[in-house]
Structure 1
Amino acid sequence: MIMFRYFPVICICIILLGSTCAADNTVSVGPSRDYVNFCASCHGVNGDGEGKAARFLFPKPRSFIKSPLQFATTTNRISSASDIELVIRRGIPNTSMTGWPTLTDTQITTLVADVMRFRQAGAKVRFLRLLTVTGDITSSDTPLLTPTQQKDMGLYISKETKPGATWSLPRLPEERLSISRGLEVYKQQNCHKCHGEDARGSYGIDIVGEYGFPTFASDLVNDAYKYGRDRGSITRVIQLGINGTKMPASSTLTIKQLSDLTEYIISIQNTESTPLTNSQRYQRAIGNLNKSP
C-alpha cells in the first residue's frame, strides 16, 4: 500500500539517482472500510471481481484490476472520477450494481479513490507482465527496474488510467432527422447482427463476453439502457462504443448518420422496462429464455 501511495515520489527519486528499484507486483492496495462494507462482497476485497456473492450474479461484477470500466464519458473511453461517482450513486440498470444514493459525499469520494487505485495497481501488474514476456525482466514478482523502465511504467499506467477530454454531443445537422435513414444506418453498420433485425436483442445469436461467459446484446426496445437513454447518452455509446464489451465504436459515421441512427433508436424505445433477475439474464444469454411478445 505504501509503495503505491508514494509511487510518483519514488519514481522521481529513482530517475534522479540513476539506480534501479524493486517494483512490488501485488494488487493489494488496502481498500477503505467503506469499500469493504459496500463493494467487496461483489467486487472482491482486492478489486478482482471475485467477491463472495459474485458466483450468484449475472452479468459478473467488474474486475477493477483486469477489466476496463464500461461507463465513460471521455473521448479515450477511460472513466473519470465523475463517471465512477455517477455509477456508484445511480447504479447500472438491469444488473446487480445497485445505486448508493444514501452514502455521504465523503464516502463516495473514498470509494472513487479506491476504484482508481485498483485501476492503477492493475495497470502496473500488466506492465510488469509485459516486461516478463519480452524478456526484459526474469520475474514480475519482485523485479529490479531501470530508470527507463520506471519511466515507461509510469507512462503505461497513465495511458491505461488517465481519462481524456470529456465527450460532447456533436451539433445536430440542419437537415431534419430521419428515422427511416436511421434504420438504414442500423443495417449498414451491422447493428442487427447482434441486436437483431427487430432490435429486440441477440436471441438465437451466440455471443461470448470478456470473461468467457455468454452475453446478450441489449434489447433496444424493452431493456433499460445501462448508460442512459437520452439523445446524448445514446449518441455517445454509438460513437465511442462500450469498453470491455462487444459494442464497438462507430467513429467513421458522419454526424448526419450518427444523428439519424440515434433518432431511430429513440423512436423504438418503450417508455417502461421490466428488469430481469440474475437467473433470467443468464437464461436469456444462453438461449433458454424466449423473446416476449
Structure 2
Amino acid sequence: MKSTVVSVARKLKLYQLVVFDQVLRSGSLVGAAQALNLTQPAVTKIIHEMEAFLGAALLVRGNRGVRATELGGVVVRRAHAMLTELRSLTDEVNAYHSGTTGQVMVGSLTSSSALLLPHTLRLLKESAPGVLVTVRVGHMDQLFSSLLAGELDIVVGRIPDDWRWHEYEPRLKVDVLCEEGLCIVAGAEHPLHASGRPVSLAELHPFPWILPPRSGLLRRTVDRLFEELDLGPPANVIESIAALTNYELMQDQQTVGFFPLQTTQQLAHGGKLKAFDLGKPLSFGRIGCFYSANRNLDPASRLFRECLTLANRPNAQN
C-alpha cells in the first residue's frame, strides 16, 4: 500500500529516527545502545519496527559494523533535516527557560580558524558559557553540503568569486565579513628574503612549492597568479592546506607557499616564518558567514553570528 503523510506520521516516530541516526553515527547497534542508554535488544526492536513499516531493510551488517542500505540512506538524509529542527526546538525551549544554551555546529576553512574564529569563540563563551560549539574544518564544497543537510548551522570561509552564479547560492545566505589578504611565505632564512627588495613570482617559481589542493577555491586564485605572468605551474609541488604541516615544511628554508594574511601574521610571531615583499598586495578574497536560506538560525547560532560580527570589528582582536 502506498504511504501517505498521515500514515507515515502515525507509524514513524521521531524517536525511531533518533535511534536510527545514532546507529549509523556509532556504526553498530551496541554503540547506539550505549550512547542512548538503551539495551541492544531495544535498539534492534526499534530498527525492526521501522523496517516492517517501510517494507525494506535499512541496515547492512558487515565486518566493520553496520551501514545504511539505499533506502536507509534516503531515510537518514531526510532525518537529518528533521532532527536539526528538533534540536532547534529543544534549544529554543531551553533558552526560554534558562537563558542562552544550546549547541552550534560551525564549519570553517583553516584560514578562517587563524584569528577570527578563536576570537569569536572567546566572545561567545564570555556571554554564554553554556553553549557547546563544535568546529569542523574542511573544504568549502564539503562544508556547504553539510550545511544544506542540516549537519552544520554556520560556515565561515571564503566567498567564491562566482558566488552570484554558484550552484549553492539560491539555498544559502551569506554575510560578508571582511576582505582577506594573501601572502607568499617561506622560512625566515630563505635566500630570497635577504635581497632587501621586492621579489617577483618568476624568481620564486623554481623553488619547491606548497599549493592548495586542486579542488579548493584558493587553488583557482593561485593558478591565475601564475597564468597572468605566463608561468606554468611549479614543477616541485606538495598539495596541502594543513597550516602547521606547511609551516614545518617551510623550515627547510627553500619551500615556498601561500597563506592568508591572518594566518601569516599568527605564525610569523615566532620569527621562523616570513612573508615575501612582492611590491603589491595580493587578495585572498572576501570572508563570509554562510547559513541556510530555508532554515531559521536557533538562538545559540544567532548569538554566534553576532559574536562573529563583533570579532571582525577593527581592533577587536588586539
Give the number of the structure whose residues are more often strand, by fraction: 2
Give the number of the structure whose residues are more often helix, by fraction: 2
Structure index of larger Rg: 2
TM-score by length of 2: 0.24
